[in-house]
Structure 1
Amino acid sequence: MDDWDTVTKIGSKTGGGASQRETVVRGKGALNQAQRSGTIIGTEKKYATGNAVNKAGSEGQRLTKVDRSDDIVPVQKTGTEIGAAIRARRSKEGQYKMTQAELAKKVNAPANDIKLLESGEGIKNQGLLNRVARVLKISPKTGKALDEDN
């Protein structure tokens, strides 16, 4: 009898459709096994930030705009206004008076980055700007002092 050798599949996932379903291979071993068996393999890299590093998401949107445009999109620079505010606060007599090198050491950044930030020529780095603003107690957006009543 052939009843013991036949298999009856019941349910929605019995397969046998016109096209095979895509599967996602997780891990190097599964990928190697698929390659050895001769299946067609397509590789796609998914770019996701998980719990987004910067919640605003503006940098990712800007990069998407850069990718989609045919024109040359200029790099965002730190404004000269904020650079002048940092320079003024840093050179003012009092508790915030320090050199660029001293400020760089306090914010754990190269002195050249502070120089570029103050000149307004540096590429916009919000993390560095926030650290500098925290040390100098200024607003990272406007450059106004946060501890004065002006």
Structure 2
Amino acid sequence: MSGAAWDTEAVKIGKNAHNGAGGPREKVIKSQSALNAAKRSGAAVATEKKYTTGNAATKPAVEGQRLTMVDRSDDVVPVKKVSKEVSDALKAARKAFVTADGKELTQKELATKASTAVANIIAIESGKATPDQKVLTALERALNTKLRGKNMGQPLHAPKAAPAAAAAKK
């Protein structure tokens, strides 16, 4: 028993005791200087972009799967645009909305009511805007009209058919 490793070598206990495969371990590098040092040493370096974050509330249009598809594609991928149905529904709802003066709602008045820029309204109505869910939600609430989904162009809060069903039960 006199030739055991614990007799002749210092035994490391704790976080510095590495008894593994002996090869370089996979490590997440968070700084640019550490990345450059790893490249200079000749280590295998793989870079991956993190598309989403834990609290992505500040980024309303995060499209992780789409960005991955664009990243892996060799072709030029066109940018998503608002569909013609959305722009037509917005135009019709804005023209049908009557102000207190008895006039139809202008793009500027709608932008003020929805707390967005006039350029956004113009771009959506012309079909050149990229879809932004926050802007579309604000426009739906301002016009009380659905601009997304299967009932596009219908009132947002349509009267429910529950009273007729309740009368049929009696």
Please, what TM-score do these two structures have when normalized by structure 1? Answer: 0.67
Residue 89 (structure 2) aligns with: 85
SS at match of 1:123: coil
Find 2:154's aligned residue among 137, 144, 149. 144
Q: TM-score, normalised by structure 2?
A: 0.61
Which has the larger displacement, 134-143 or 45-54?
Answer: 45-54
CA drift of 1:115 comes to 0.7
- 1:140 Cα deviation from its structure 2 partner: 2.8
Structure 2 CA distance for partners of 1:27 and 1:146, relative to 1, 3 Å: same
**Residues 23 and 131 from structure 1, CA distance in 2 versus in 1: closer, same or farther, beyond 3 angstroms?**
same
Whether contact under 8 Å (2:81, 2:131) holds in the other structure is yes
Q: Once the 2 structures are TM-superposed, how far is the Cα of residue 92 of structure 1 from its aligned partner? A: 1.7
Aligned-partner SS, 1:105: helix
Which of the numbers 73, 80, 84 marks the counterpart of 1:76?
Answer: 80
Between the aligned residues of both structures, percent identity stands at 35
Report the CA distance shift for 1:43/1:74 in structure 2 as closer, same or farther (over 3 A): closer
CA distance in 1, matches of 2:68, 2:30: 27
Aligned to 1:18: 22
Structure 1 unmatched ranges of 5 or more: 1-5
How many residues are aligned here?
139
Encode CA deviations 1:86-139: one digit per residue, 9 max, x unaligned. 111112253594211111122222211101111222122222111111111111
Cα distance in 1 for residues equivalent to 2:112 and 2:83: 22
Cα RMSD (Å) of the superposition? 3.8
Deviation at 1:24, TM superposition (A): 4.7
Structure number with larger C-alpha Rg: 2
